[in-house]
Structure 1
Amino acid sequence: MILLNDKLEKTIEISACVVTALLLIKFVPKNKFREAQVAFMFKQLVTSLFGLLVVEKNLISYPTRLFFKKTIKSSFTFEYFVYPALCTLFNLYYPEKRNSVIKLLYIFFNSSIITFFEAFAVKYTTLIKYKKWTWYWSFITMSLSYYISHIYYRYFFKNQVN
């Protein structure tokens, strides 16, 4: 197993923040800003609670963290920014009028991308370490949280969802 050095890991974390911010700027239409905020904040609530739970239960650890190292044990970058931002885009572009297979594939595709990058980080960095966890638990929990997030989003904007 090849581990990257701390400087490169910090670069990865900063790059993830920058790329995520650019994705939000590029793909959140001005007329959907309110919807984006609701999706973002709801996902922050879900990921912060679940993220702290898995860290406190010693299922996952984040040995190298760039932000708030002394205040929280979970990854601020992932739990409070990257994942909520990706979920925001997930909700804004959800294929609401498509059939169930397309919707399921949409959830599968989005969860797979994040799981892939997480598995890479587990194998090659110290950004995340699985203790009593595996990639498929990440995939399942991300898929479920995407789905729950969309149910909330659809409920909150029930008269406005296209």
Structure 2
Amino acid sequence: MLLNRIVLVGAWAAAAALMAWATPRQRVRDALVVFMFKQVITWPLGLLVVQYGFLAYPVREFPQATFASFSFEYFIYPATCVAFTLRFPERRGVWAKLGWYAFFPTWMTALEFAIERYTDLVRYIHWSWHWTWLTLLITFHMTRMFYCWFIEKGAVAPAVKGGTSS
């Protein structure tokens, strides 16, 4: 039980640190847009995969309220998506972009697989690591496309250097 809590607290700390590293002060609003959009995707999907018996979360933060993992679906995945989106290699070549898309789902899937194997935080029932990798890839791409559309539409005003403009 102690190992589960240590891993959970470590994952929260790592996700928060990653999000803080990825978010320059002038892009906090962008980070919030990405974070909340990813939550809109992961929370319902997390509830569905648990409801249909694909995954189980034996150790949960709110066992009376939900069978899904609040930490993973509502904070850790969205926080990581902030780093993925805000640090995306926009001005680099296609191989750098494809590598970025492959890197994030891969390391997150590897960590989830280790967590599934050595803790009680997640249990694969009718699930496998490749489903995790694929859903992460798809949801990261959806979030990035939404963010690009949102920025293009001017919903998030660019930061003005030097304070207010006259």
TM over 0.5: yes
TM-score (norm 1): 0.91
Q: What code does the residue aligned with 1:18 have? A: A
> What is residue 69 of structure 2 aligned with on the other side?
75
Q: What code does the residue aligned with 2:113 have? A: A
Larger Rg: 2
Counterpart among 126, 130, 133 of residue 136 in structure 1: 130
> What is residue 161 of structure 2 aligned with on the other side?
none
Instruction: State the number of aligned residues.
Output: 155
5+ long unaligned stretches in structure 1: 1-5
Paired with 1:27 and 1:96, the residues of 2 have a C-alpha distance of: 14
Runs of 4+ in 1 over 3 A off after TM superposition: none
1:57 and 2:52 matched:
yes
C-alpha displacement of 1:54:
0.5
> What is residue 47 of structure 1 aligned with on the other side?
42
> What is residue 34 of structure 1 aligned with on the other side?
29
- Point out the more displaced range, 19-28 or 151-160: 19-28
Q: Deviations over 1:32-52 (max 9, x none)?
A: 000000000000010001111
Taking a change above 3 Å as real, the CA distance of residues 58 and 112 of structure 1, as seen in their structure-2 partners, is same
> What is residue 13 of structure 1 aligned with on the other side?
8
RMSD: 1.4
TM-score (norm 2): 0.89
Residue 157 of structure 1 aligns to a residue in which SS? Answer: helix
Q: What code does the residue aligned with 2:38 have? A: K
Q: What code does the residue aligned with 2:130 have? A: Y
> What is residue 105 of structure 1 aligned with on the other side?
99
Aligned-pair identity in percent equals 34
> What is residue 87 of structure 1 aligned with on the other side?
81
Paired with 2:17 and 2:100, the residues of 1 have a C-alpha distance of: 22
Q: What code does the residue aligned with 1:157 have? A: I
Q: Deviations over 1:95-152 (max 9, x none)?
A: 1222332212101100001000000011111110000000001001100111111000
